[in-house]
Amino acid sequence: MLDFFNDIIRQVKRYRRVSLSHSPKPFAELFNLEEHEKMMKLTLDKDLDGARQQLTQYLTDMMKDIESTVNEIEMK
């Protein structure tokens, strides 16, 4: 099971790198330090519901960016 999750993580990282290198959005918009700091603060404050919600939103937004970029690449 751990191998399966490691494979998924490797694939997500690969597609994330592709997305970052081809995205029309500025890097600062794709990598929002404030989002990371907010997740860290919620986690350190042991606000598990808030941290979970923030992480879910972050991952959802990341997947939308990846899908959008991959679709743009495929259309070229």
Tell whether the model's pLDDT for residue 32 goes beyond 90. no
**Location of structure tokens 């997947």:** 63
Spatial separation of the C-alpha atoms in residues 7 and 2, rounded to whole Å: 9
Residue 73 has a pLDDT of 76
Residue 67 has a pLDDT of 82
Residue 28 has a pLDDT of 65
pLDDT digits (tens, 9 = 90+) for 49-69: 999 999 899 888 888 887 887
Residue 76 has a pLDDT of 67
pTM of the shown model: 0.63
